[in-house]
Amino acid sequence: MVLRTKDIHQIVRILRQEVAKWKTPAVTAVAGRARDPFQVLVSCVLSLRTKDETTRTAFARLQPKARTPRALLRIPVEELAQLIYPVGFYNQKAKQLRDIARALIENYGGRVPDTIEELLTLNGVGRKTANLVVTLGYGQPGICVDTHVHRITNRWGYIRTQTPDQTESALREQLPPDYWIEFNDLLVTYGQNICVPISPKCSQCAIRAYCDRVGVDRRR
């Protein structure tokens, strides 16, 4: 089955209705409250290889003490690690956050850059994080591709790619621009609750009619 543009319109409409049942992803929730690119960047770093609930808790502890790069840089690395514990790789992320804060102060006057190319120069910032900062922090067009977006769009048969970077390029060519910013939120939430990595809940899926189930060996 080849997904056409009108199919994608219908899929997005259905996903918008479905994901309203579940919690908003942690980074999106941060962006919705503050619309502060620095807070979005910090929450993105915390969220990598970390469950959403852990990210929410850690960010809630850190945020009052680290509202700006300069405030964050005043926190000793040991204290910073304790504040964000138990996010994945918390010691490494504490050092990374300080490196990022220092670079923002020294190179950008304390302001988070608004281009993917500049964001990628920051310690440990990859395309996923850069796209989230650009889209959620600045409201600019971009497609954030994480493991859920990569898995689900290939599972549908909408694209056929091997890596998240290839998926981003393919989606930039095929996905209508109006959906770029929200696409990650929709698929992350759906991927956490229905279209899970192993044994997806196909019997409960509201968009199963549009899915080729590529690579799905077991399903519920």
Helix boundaries (H) for 87-219: 90-108, 116-119, 127-132, 138, 147-156, 164-174, 180-193
Distance of CA 4 to the CA centre of its chain: 25
pLDDT digits (tens, 9 = 90+) for 142-153: 999 999 999 999
E strand residue ranges, 32-143: none
Average pLDDT value for the chain: 94
Quick one: tokens of 179? Answer: 């959906």
Q: Give the start-to-end residue ranges of the domains of the chain.
A: 5-23+143-210, 35-138
Specify the CATH superfamily of domain 35-138. Answer: Hypothetical protein; domain 2 (1.10.340.30)
Does this chain's domain 5-23+143-210 share its CATH topology with 35-138?
Answer: no
- Assess whether 52 carries a catalytic annotation: no
Task: Give the model confidence (pLDDT) of 24-63 as tens digits.
Answer: 888 888 877 767 999 999 999 999 989 999 999 999 999 9
| Secondary structure letter of residue 64 according to DSSP | G
Classify domain 5-23+143-210 at the CATH topology level.
Endonuclease Iii, domain 2 (1.10.1670)
CA 48 to CA 165: how far, in whole Å? 17
219, two tokens: 């399903």
pLDDT of residue 195: 98
Catalytic residue among 52, 93, 128, 185: 128
Q: What's the rounded mean pLDDT across residues 188-211?
A: 96
- The string of pLDDT tens digits covering residues 177-193 is 999 999 999 999 999 99
Check 146, 165, 178, 217 and give the catalytic one: 146
pLDDT tens for 80-115 read 999 999 999 999 999 999 999 999 999 999 999 999
Catalytic residue check, 178: no
